[in-house]
Amino acid sequence: MSAKILFDTQHLYYLPQYLPVAEALSRQGAKCQFVLYPEAELDAVKEQALTAEGFSFVYLEGKTHALEFYARCNADWVIFGNVPAFDASDKHRIAARLALMQHGIGPKSCYYDVSEFPFDVRFVEGQERLKRLSERFSDRSFVDTGYAKLDPIFRGDAPLLPLSSLGLSEQKQTILYAPTFFPSSIEHFPLHWPEQLQDYNLIVKPHFFSLTKSKYAAQRERFSAWQQYGNVYLAGIEDYNLVPFMQISDIMLSDASSAIFEFAAMDKPVVWCDFYRTRWSYSGLLKFRLKQRLDPDIELFHTLTRRAASAKQVKPAIIKCLSNPHDKQAERADLTKSMVGTTDGLCSSRIARYLADHVRS
């Protein structure tokens, strides 16, 4: 296979989904290149990650240049993790085929809405997601491949990160707190929260936007306060991949994040922080906007997790989960099958094979 595949990388956090697929394509002989957009302090992290894996990259000056670049790129496929930076009406100017691998599998309406763009194919996760997308977009092409981001876990070839390398205790159980940026539970936890969890390691893995966007300064104040405690590791921008932290954690706390589906797929317990800090434009009479942002899939969290309705309920929920980690095991297996798809470590290989088999002659 001598196909040329481009990966449109609007954000750093797309890399964990892209890299397993790029590696599978490279093994088949394809030429893979990553298309990056300047992100100030993040560029060095992206370059280091791609260089370490042996992949080349090119920068566009900005999203407005994407259409012109792809119109003359001479590629076979362009892979996107979200809606492209150009209008659907301009798609005909690009000779390459366009594919979507959504960068997350969470309970936000954008998971489904993004398929309004006429991609040539979208790779999806599980039969339930395939069914819903096919019903809503009957003229689109969807292929159930599973979620490539998790392949290194299920193949068993991802090296384990020593807790000691994070300054944490190898003798304590480890809690992974992986909140999304909005709507988020972060602001509901007190500045002294780690004191309540002194018997545990606490890894705080914020969303990329929580660390970089000015509007989330209040969240960063919480992170800075928690970071002062000896039982806490605060993941920084360079820790862009959640997978290594999921592997070494015994339990996850999250809110409206796709990380809940990912962690549950590993058959580990999750506490759902079902309490959120919202903006004024999403509250009161405007609360309907929040419902529009969150897809009904979030209701599946009731089945998949132990729900905490307030920050005070989180620690008791943690204790209950860790004392009986097999509780909800059957539910985790069922929902993983329908919402995450096959977990055999070969999702990226299936995607690579499809791309190879559908190269324009």
* Pairwise CA distance, residues 83 & 181, whole Å: 19
- Mark residue 29 as left, alpha or beta (left: phi above 0; alpha: psi -120 to 50; beta: remaining): left
Do residue 128 and residue 188 come from a single domain? Answer: no
What is the three-class DSSP state of 255?
coil
Is 72 a domain residue? yes
* Pairwise CA distance, residues 8 & 4, whole Å: 13
What is the three-class DSSP state of 254?
strand
Is 326 a domain residue? yes
Q: Which residues span the domain enclosing 317? A: 163-339
Per-residue pLDDT, 156: 87
Do residue 278 and residue 208 come from a single domain? Answer: yes
Do residue 246 and residue 300 come from a single domain? Answer: yes
* Pairwise CA distance, residues 66 & 78, whole Å: 11
What is the three-class DSSP state of 325?
coil
* Pairwise CA distance, residues 271 & 258, whole Å: 13
Which residue, chain included where needed, has tokens 């932290």? 245
Residue 84 burial (10 A CB sphere; 0-12, 13-18, 19+): buried
State the DSSP string of 95-147. Answer: -SEEEE--S---SBTHHHHGGGS--SEEEESSHHHHHHHHHH-TTS-EEE---
Per-residue pLDDT, 80: 97
Q: How far is CA 143 from the centre of its chain?
A: 19
Give pTM, 2 decimals. 0.89
Do residue 331 and residue 346 come from a single domain? Answer: no
| CA distances (Å), origin 151, targets 125, 157, 160 | 13, 9, 14
What are the φ and ψ backbone dihedral angles of 334, each rounded to 5 degrees? -65, -45
Is 296 a domain residue? yes
Q: How far is CA 53 from the centre of its chain?
A: 20
Per-residue pLDDT, 108: 64
- Domains in the chain: how many in total? 2
Do residue 52 and residue 10 come from a single domain? Answer: yes
Q: How many beta carbons lie within 10 A of that of residue 236, not counting itself?
A: 13
Q: How many beta carbons lie within 10 A of that of residue 348, not counting itself?
A: 29
Do residue 14 and residue 141 come from a single domain? Answer: yes
> Looking at residue 309, which CATH number applies to its domain?
3.40.50.2000
Per-residue pLDDT, 297: 61
* Pairwise CA distance, residues 116 & 93, whole Å: 18
Is 154 a domain residue? no
Is 156 a domain residue? no
State the DSSP string of 205-234. Answer: ---HHHHH-GGGHHHHHHHHHHHTSTTEEE
Cα-only R_g, the chain: 20
Is 86 a domain residue? yes
List, in sequence order, every residue forming a beta bridge with 143; answer none if it has no partner: 123
Do residue 38 and residue 139 come from a single domain? Answer: yes
Token pair of 224 as six digits:
């800075």
Is 152 a domain residue? no
* Pairwise CA distance, residues 57 & 80, whole Å: 15
Do residue 174 and residue 91 come from a single domain? Answer: no
What number of residues does the chain have? 361
Do residue 244 and residue 168 come from a single domain? Answer: yes
Positions in the chain whose pLDDT score sits under 70: 1, 106-108, 277-298, 361
Do residue 314 and residue 183 come from a single domain? Answer: yes
* Pairwise CA distance, residues 117 & 125, whole Å: 18
- Bond before 107 cis per omega within 30 degrees: no
* Pairwise CA distance, residues 136 & 130, whole Å: 10
| H/E segment holding residue 248 | helix 243-248
| CA distances (Å), origin 124, targets 35, 106, 138, 191, 338 | 22, 12, 15, 39, 11
Is 317 a domain residue? yes
| H/E segment holding residue 142 | strand 142-144
Do residue 246 and residue 284 come from a single domain? Answer: yes
Do residue 130 and residue 191 come from a single domain? Answer: no
* Pairwise CA distance, residues 170 & 111, whole Å: 37
